[in-house]
Structure 1
């Protein structure tokens, strides 16, 4: 049942305030309840419209993520089969149900006696229906303003902190390289006080009959997450569980990309690093390096060239100085090439916990990309260790 506090909580959680709050309440009314109380309307039709709105949101996001127009032609990074597979993951029953469940929305459902007896409020299908009904209620309340609907969908999908588009990439790379399934390992802690059990404060992980709680380290206030790939273990920390998982996934993905590159590279020519990097570009192993030149004069008036080279995906640049522009470019390129070939991705074995969860995926939105940049900068500033 919903009171004023519950209504405010849901609106705050989804980032939308209803003009007609009765629509929000209706989204929580199950058919079993309306059968016992004929004076109220249930959420079934709202669920239908929410499913359609969510489907359009996901389709648009896939279009923006994987498609472009080049020289008048439509080009997609993914084929129809791949897009269908990804879409089925993004809007799977598990994904939507986990989002609604993690937010604690099931606590506010209006249930008939049969539903109460069967304790359906925590089932995947009921939570999936609730997710879609809330989206449908938003669509009706905003008169199908898709700018509003898209924002709510994005916010609600982010409630599934276990899932991210990074997760899809890690999973795909693991299979491509023959590593099998990665192990996703949240750092679980026991609640210290009863108030900590409130959904505002806890991130819940439910796998079958097992249940664990993820909470921040009481000393640092940070959440921890780990991913194991074969004998490699990558840990991430963050201000929230989603940020911690993204940090771990980023390290794991960097490692996998590095492994993929090593398999593509047969021989490295250190005698001409500029040419070698260009060959990697031609083979689509790396993006085009960016060279930035400047010139100054030393105390004797001799011209000195400075070259700084950077490469997308590497969080540092490399600078060299020499009297010749050609020479300085080669020296800077050599630093980048050696770093690119020889640097090992950070691996951490600070803690071990049982595996609770594997799988799931959703879009890595532009906002998440910005958050990932912030996380990487935070890790870099702290030497990669928390």
Structure 2
């Protein structure tokens, strides 16, 4: 079989393309692609995470997480599968075929992940990185760059505004400091304060430190706005 990747082990490729419904109808076929799908999901998370980490050093953990989720969600992976015309290669049971499985976003997404998992086993992580980088390029141009700029401006702008005000009035940058951590490790909340000249100007709470410092900056700007208006 010819497909978009060169596999040394054709059995891995065949397995990646085999849906559970096909195995149920063909007793001689022993394995479907769900285990490879599990592996491919993890490999994609790693490869995309590294790609974003290397190329977007200005973005916070929260921003990177949001951007990664948009690149590897079901609709996006299904679009990649359609670009590669994966549907016509998938081994599906008759019921799945009648239900339009070859164009089903969930099945296409799952199969794409299985292909990534199989290619990782067959060719290694560097080969997967090259494949993902080439395939994801258009998505990065159309999705990641506009989104990163949009999210970045929302998060960074409020802190920049406070810094500009502080430099103009005090020739100093604001200092952010942790006041308290709340909750268990898996659901922590952070409370941060922001001060200038050791004067507390605002506090903020968030599930991430970046969100808490942003909230503190916004609180400070709100108070400064009131002072300017009524001072």
Q: TM-score range by the shorter chain?
A: 0.5 to 0.7
Q: Is the 8 A contact 1:29 1:43 kept in 2?
A: yes
Aligned to 1:155: 134
Q: Does 1:22 align with 2:11?
A: yes
Aligned to 1:59: 49
Task: Count matched residues.
Answer: 155
Aligned to 1:85: 66
**What's the TM-score once normalised by structure 1's chain length?**
0.37
1:191-230 aligned at under 5 Å gives the runs none
Aligned to 1:366: none
Q: Is the 8 A contact 2:34 2:114 kept in 1?
A: yes
Structure 2 CA distance, aligned partners of 1:99 and 1:53? 16
1:120-131 aligned at under 5 Å gives the runs 120-131=101-112
C-alpha RMSD over aligned residues: 2.5
The structure 1 residue matched to 2:32, chosen from 38, 42, 47, is: 42
Report the alpha carbon displacement of residue 36 of structure 1 after superposing the two structures with TM.
1.1
Aligned to 1:253: none
Q: Secondary structure in 1 aligned to 2:21?
A: helix
Point out the structure with the larger helix share. 2
The structure 2 residue matched to 1:134, chosen from 115, 125, 134, is: 115
Structure 1 CA distance, aligned partners of 2:152 and 2:55? 21
Aligned to 2:88: 107
**What's the TM-score once normalised by structure 2's chain length?**
0.60
Between 1:166-175 and 1:23-32, the stretch displaced more is: 166-175
| CA 139–176 in structure 1, closer or farther in 2 if over 3 Å, else same | closer
Which structure 1 residue ranges, 5 or more long, are not aligned?
A: 1-6, 68-76, 179-263, 265-386
Report the alpha carbon displacement of residue 62 of structure 1 after superposing the two structures with TM.
1.8
Structure 1 CA distance, aligned partners of 2:130 and 2:11? 21
Report the alpha carbon displacement of residue 38 of structure 1 after superposing the two structures with TM.
2.4
| CA 85–156 in structure 1, closer or farther in 2 if over 3 Å, else same | same
| CA 92–139 in structure 1, closer or farther in 2 if over 3 Å, else same | same
Q: Is the 8 A contact 2:16 2:114 kept in 1?
A: yes
| CA 174–44 in structure 1, closer or farther in 2 if over 3 Å, else same | closer
Higher relative contact order (CA 8 A, sep 6+): 2
Structure 2 CA distance, aligned partners of 1:46 and 1:171? 31
| CA 112–138 in structure 1, closer or farther in 2 if over 3 Å, else same | same
| CA 152–31 in structure 1, closer or farther in 2 if over 3 Å, else same | same
| CA 51–177 in structure 1, closer or farther in 2 if over 3 Å, else same | closer
Structure 1 CA distance, aligned partners of 2:12 and 2:94? 23
Structure 1 CA distance, aligned partners of 2:140 and 2:48? 14
